[in-house]
Structure 1
Amino acid sequence: MRDFLRRLSRHRKAAVGGSLLVFFLLLAVVGPFFVMDPTDLVGRPHQPPSAAHWFGTTGQGQDVLAQTVVGARETLAVGFAVGALVTLVGALVGVTAGYLGRRVDDVLSLTTNVFLVIPGMPLAIVLGAYLPSGPLRMVAVLTVAGWAWNARVFRAESLALRGRDFVSAAVVTGESHSRIVSRELLPNMASLLGSSFIGNTLYAVGAQVGLEFLGLGDVSAVTWGTNLYWAGNDAALLTRSWWIFVPTGMCIALVGFALTLVSSAIDEMTNPALRVHKAAPLPATPAPRSHLERPVPGVLLRVEDLCIDYATEKGPSRVVDSVSFDVAPGEVFGLAGESGSGKSTIGSALLGLLPASARVTQGRILFNGMDVTALEGPALRAFRWRQVSMVFQSAMSALNPVLTLGEQFHDTLAAHGRVSRGTSYARARELLGMVGLSPDLVTAWPHQLSGGMRQRVGIALALALEPRLIIMDEPTTALDVVVQKELLQRMVELKQRLGFAMLFITHDLPLLLALSDRVGVLQGGKLVEVDTSTNLRTGARHPYTQLLLSSFPHLSAKDAAPAAQPVQTPELSVSRPSTRVAAIPGGHR
């Protein structure tokens, strides 16, 4: 925060806008001590500016300078208070409704819509006419009249963000709803929060002045609004006494200009892609620890007769139909199939990430004897990432764009126990080194990395808590052939070193045959065949598997013997699939 404020102070727009705001805040706080009492009758009415009265006198004979200075105190206090309250209430209601959805969204959206159909100014006039007079009345009236529109805006932004991969990653790592809202969603709305606060403060100042000009404020108080009210009553326009209302109008305009400049500066400073970061000195990287574990004989993951349905307008639609398979400790099990075959849905079900419209209607998912489908709340959060983690498909959006890599590692580790930021950063450097990246990148932002580097960071995050199984959901999508090869070689090396199992999900059959111990082939939600990679190459039994194999001439039986190599050598055909994968029936490329 201190570094952000220092950089903000060097920003030209922030410097100009901030200087104006500081001037008016000082004017409001200490200015009244240096001017005369604004209610005293000190001169002739409608006296123009002079040496005795710099801004002239009002229609009653009061000093205009004193009224302008003293009026800033209550006007700015109410404006900033209402701006903060309207932004806070709107953000909390909108983000909560958008993120939680379902009944919470229904109730909060209905409440918001009720307030939106009521015109704000008439509502403020009615409330202001019946509530006791004073500044607190104005704060309450303007807050009630103005929060609903902000809630609608924040709800829309929350709906757009909750489907992003970095939010799904936060859910999988076990972060609570409140932490996801505060650490994942709201930081990505920093510009929206800033602009909303600016807009709401301007709204508050304008609405307050308007209500007081209509006589709905405390006319005995000295504010910018009551200054204009009395200027109108004293016929300042008719008598051409411009000095009575021009100073107040200029102050309102300058405050609005200052707030707009600060808003623009904050927007630029909160967008990491718009600024250049200098590399910070880092402490020495600790020596890597050994994480080698002996695989436990038996079954690590067992999927039993799994059925998953999606709710549609025409009724339930089955996307996974009676699927059963096992994964042994340390094994690489591949799931292949065309788009829509249900392979990614199975991976999501394993981590409890199915969308609200989907549910498991039959079967179980057993991890080391524990039924994952029955886990909820803290038990599910404890299971995620410690036992099973995931490398998400989109390397470009799986990382939070407004947090450095070190902060994202810290969030993952802190979600599963109290850990200091220094310990998290040390672990992050170790993991970045393990996946072939420089430990210095711990202070980098996601936009500074290439797609392949981001995917390596995703792998490092998946290894953070030493899980026993890692789900690789289309991890090489949108990566070029060379990067794919390097990435998979690194995964094989890490698997051999750390001893975890992998559930590899992809439409890329050649890649699976080169990498996996066993491969399952999905068609239309059904698992039609499961066998070793060598057996599938030479003796696939199901017609659909044979059709897939025939789409790749280099996978025919003639070259099966030289192609059948140990699973630890992904070099065999990883370099070819992206040029041939379009031949898969129903493929999405």
Structure 2
Amino acid sequence: MPLTLGRRRSLMARITAAMLASLVVLALVGPLVRGESADLPDPSAVLQGPSVAHPFGTDNLGRDLLARVLTATRPSLLLALTAVLLGAAGGILLGASTAVVGPRARRLLAGLINLLLAFPALLVAMFLAVVFGAGADGAVLALAVAGIPGFARLAQTLAAGVAGTDHLAAARVLGLRRHRLLWRHVLPNIAEPLLLSTTTAAGTALVALSGLSFLGLGVQPPDYDWGQLLNQGLDRIYVEPLPALAPGLAILYAALTFQLLGEVLAAGVARRSPTRRTPAPPSAPWGSPRPKAGGGPAGDGPVLQVEDLHVELPTPDGVIRPVRGVSLSLRPGEIVGLVGESGSGKSLTALAIADLLPDDARVSRRTLRVLGADLAAMTPGERDHHLATGLAMIFQNPASALNPSLRVATQLTESVRAHRGASRTQALAEAADALHRVALPPALLHSRPHQLSGGQRQRVMIAAALMVRPGLIIADEPTTALDVTVQRQITRLLSEIRQATSAAVLFISHDIALVSEFCERVLVMYAGTIVEALPADRLATGARHPYTRALVASVPDLGADRDRPLPTVEGAPPDPLAPSPGCPFEPRCPSRRSRCAEQAPPLDDLDAAHRLACWNPVPVTVEAVKP
């Protein structure tokens, strides 16, 4: 009966464990049991072949070769493991650092890795073994340095996948230092392939080290390893092959063991972190004041003030400008909705405010003040600290925004431990309190993101935002992937947080119906510009821009005729590589005029609460002017 896949894996794991255990036993016991006979010369038994007294024969001094092969197990394995661990440590740190350093340092590190990979590792090891001097120490250092480029390239490739994730962006919002980003958010997520590579590289290092000893560049007499024993028995291979084959078979057996170990570990490794006890939630009330490292806005001034924000992104086809002249402001405790079609620039505007745009993006603005502080007047370190302690981001997909390798407790506590110097116990108490505030049990602190539902993950994201006591919360489509019931729960939760903490909320969405019910003001964005700003209660009947009216009309109505197709916004957004000089909505506008194609309308005030960028506003409906 053929073995199933699970049984084959279990059998392979047992075989590998037995082989690894045998190597460990030989390394520990061999020198103790046969070490004396391995170094004891016997002039009467010089160069003998295999016999009952000497199963592998003897060498030119009459020493027992079986004893010498067994005794050489410990130094051969220790030297190979030392070399591969040193090379892995240096290469992994070099390659993984590219995910957390700045663009200039990233280019320099990438160029260094490419340069090092241009030279064959074995030739580099032989050259450095000569430079460092023949001997065990020189051979280990040579192999370690020669192995760095391979590990660096693997770590660089894996780290590039982590660098673009939402959870690393969320960690950057928290203002974590680069070493914490590296150890907590990059390395745990690339550990499995690196572990496989390290274990398999141990076998390769063993073969390479034996090769250096075979050439006389490694271990030197009177010490010995399997490579030197292979060299000593080579001249007898046609007469007595066993003295030469025995150390070679030992090398093959050990290398195969490490290869199988890597395969088994790659199939069954599981990242685990120590479980911590959950403290009882503190009794502080919801709205109790707590010190804020970043400071809040002075008096009744705006929490966020943006004027003339521009974003440029280079592409292979040219530079695009997805955000063009955006201006907005939020007061303390205010919820403002930012709506528009996909690609209108909503998320890029939020990322520009939070300083999370890609390195190649170019940002310009006349004013950008967060919590009363001008970001342009700050040093990079001051800006990072100010944003980390005063601003919180809630991303669209909590499954990718939460680090899959860390428990909820770790992800909630690292911000307060990094910025406020809180102890582990105090940070866990605050994390339990934050979960309690978002209606989650503190027991979830022990869970990992994949063990939670979509609504629970989004609540954990909100709890993480509460940990820094932000004055500004940017929620980038936080309800898009949730069902209607959970959407209402999340929006109700954000409203309660706003009322309890006076934090301003910038709520980004394309759901017009949700925004009109949840927000106080609405900013309508199209093709990178704000085309209308109005109170939410006027959105249904008081909108004046044709694009806003089209968005409102596209909201499904349960009373509509089911035989008729749902209304949509006709046409397509403009090409970002070829923007028109006039109104960007002009090709899709049903009331366009010749002036619309020639000149872009400015965003002007219609009244104290309503602003509009349109040459031909839609008339107000009769229902809108009724008392």
Q: TM-score, normalised by structure 2?
A: 0.80
Q: Which deviates further from its counterpart, 258-267 or 524-533?
A: 258-267
* 8 Å contact kept, 1:59–1:231: no
Q: Distance in 1 between matches of 2:270 and 2:523?
A: 44
Q: Distance in 2 between matches of 1:502 and 1:102?
A: 31
Q: Distance in 1 between matches of 2:65 and 2:71?
A: 10
Q: Distance in 1 between matches of 2:44 and 2:225?
A: 19
- Tell me whether 1:286 sits opposite 2:282 in the alignment: yes
* 8 Å contact kept, 1:98–1:156: no
2:404 maps to: 401
Structure 1 residues 374 and 95 mapped into 2: Cα distance closer, same or farther (>3 Å)? Answer: farther
RMSD: 3.0
Q: Percent identity?
A: 34
SS at match of 2:548: helix
Q: Which deviates further from its counterpart, 172-181 or 351-360?
A: 351-360
* 8 Å contact kept, 2:335–2:507: yes
* 8 Å contact kept, 2:301–2:372: no
* 8 Å contact kept, 1:91–1:150: yes
CA distances 1:362-393 after superposition (whole Å, capped 9, x unpaired)? 32211233113444433123212421101111
* 8 Å contact kept, 2:553–2:567: no
AA matched with 2:229: N
- Tell me whether 1:350 sits opposite 2:353 in the alignment: yes
Match of 2:467 among 451, 464, 469: 464
Superposition deviation, residue 167 in structure 1 = 0.7
Superposition deviation, residue 460 in structure 1 = 0.4
Structure 1 residues 524 and 437 mapped into 2: Cα distance closer, same or farther (>3 Å)? Answer: same
* 8 Å contact kept, 1:99–1:158: no
CA distances 1:511-566 after superposition (whole Å, capped 9, x unpaired)? 1111000000001111011010111221111111111112125499x9xxxxxxxx
AA matched with 1:23: V
Unpaired runs of 5+ in structure 2?
A: 1-12, 290-295, 574-627
SS at match of 2:365: strand
- Tell me whether 1:239 sits opposite 2:239 in the alignment: yes
CA distances 1:206-264 after superposition (whole Å, capped 9, x unpaired)? 1111233344445534110011111112x23x12442x244423432343344345445
SS at match of 1:305: strand
AA matched with 2:518: L
Q: Distance in 2 between matches of 1:54 and 1:582?
A: 87
* 8 Å contact kept, 2:171–2:181: yes
Superposition deviation, residue 86 in structure 1 = 1.1
Superposition deviation, residue 68 in structure 1 = 1.0
1:183 maps to: 184
AA matched with 2:282: P
Match of 1:45 among 32, 44, 47: 47
2:117 maps to: 116
- Tell me whether 1:68 sits opposite 2:69 in the alignment: yes
Q: Distance in 1 between matches of 2:48 and 2:543?
A: 100
1:563 maps to: none
1:573 maps to: none
* 8 Å contact kept, 1:311–1:357: yes
* 8 Å contact kept, 1:510–1:555: no
Structure 1 residues 526 and 36 mapped into 2: Cα distance closer, same or farther (>3 Å)? Answer: closer
Superposition deviation, residue 410 in structure 1 = 2.0
Q: Within 5 Å, give how 1:279-358 maps onto structure 2.
A: 282-292=278-288, 297-313=300-316, 315-358=318-361
Q: Distance in 1 between matches of 2:19 and 2:440?
A: 42
Q: Within 5 Å, give how 1:436-455 maps onto structure 2.
A: 436-455=439-458
* 8 Å contact kept, 1:47–1:58: no
Q: Distance in 2 between matches of 1:97 and 1:280?
A: 32
Q: Distance in 2 between matches of 1:264 and 1:415?
A: 37
Superposition deviation, residue 175 in structure 1 = 0.5
Q: Which deviates further from its counterpart, 446-455 or 355-364?
A: 355-364
2:621 maps to: none
Q: Within 5 Å, give how 1:405-444 maps onto structure 2.
A: 405-444=408-447
Superposition deviation, residue 288 in structure 1 = 4.2
CA distances 1:16-59 after superposition (whole Å, capped 9, x unpaired)? 46533532431466456454416665614233131x33443236
Q: Distance in 1 between matches of 2:31 and 2:354?
A: 56
Q: Distance in 2 between matches of 1:113 and 1:448?
A: 40
AA matched with 1:25: A
* 8 Å contact kept, 1:337–1:343: yes
AA matched with 2:507: F
Structure scoring higher RCO (CA < 8 A, sep ≥ 6) equals 1
Q: Distance in 2 between matches of 1:90 and 1:63?
A: 41
2:605 maps to: none
1:56 maps to: 57
Structure 1 residues 147 and 375 mapped into 2: Cα distance closer, same or farther (>3 Å)? Answer: same
SS at match of 1:486: helix
Superposition deviation, residue 137 in structure 1 = 1.5
Superposition deviation, residue 179 in structure 1 = 1.3
1:161 maps to: 162
Q: TM-score, normalised by structure 1?
A: 0.85
Structure 1 residues 186 and 279 mapped into 2: Cα distance closer, same or farther (>3 Å)? Answer: closer
- Tell me whether 1:513 sits opposite 2:516 in the alignment: yes
Structure 1 residues 29 and 411 mapped into 2: Cα distance closer, same or farther (>3 Å)? Answer: farther
SS at match of 1:100: coil
Q: Distance in 2 between matches of 1:330 and 1:451?
A: 27
Structure 1 residues 270 and 538 mapped into 2: Cα distance closer, same or farther (>3 Å)? Answer: same
SS at match of 2:72: helix
CA distances 1:481-503 after superposition (whole Å, capped 9, x unpaired)? 22212222222223223322100
Structure 1 residues 344 and 81 mapped into 2: Cα distance closer, same or farther (>3 Å)? Answer: same
Q: Distance in 2 between matches of 1:489 and 1:182?
A: 36
Q: Within 5 Å, give how 1:71-90 maps onto structure 2.
A: 71-90=72-91
Structure 1 residues 444 and 23 mapped into 2: Cα distance closer, same or farther (>3 Å)? Answer: same
SS at match of 1:191: helix
2:480 maps to: 477
Q: Distance in 2 between matches of 1:24 and 1:410?
A: 46
CA distances 1:71-98 after superposition (whole Å, capped 9, x unpaired)? 2233222201110111012112211234
Structure 1 residues 280 and 108 mapped into 2: Cα distance closer, same or farther (>3 Å)? Answer: closer
AA matched with 1:308: V
* 8 Å contact kept, 1:20–1:255: no
AA matched with 2:350: G
* 8 Å contact kept, 2:50–2:57: yes
Q: Distance in 2 between matches of 1:374 and 1:582?
A: 45
Q: Distance in 1 between matches of 2:316 and 2:50?
A: 74
Aligned positions, number: 549
* 8 Å contact kept, 2:99–2:162: no
Q: Distance in 2 between matches of 1:409 and 1:225?
A: 52
Q: Within 5 Å, give how 1:16-27 maps onto structure 2.
A: 16=18, 19-27=21-29
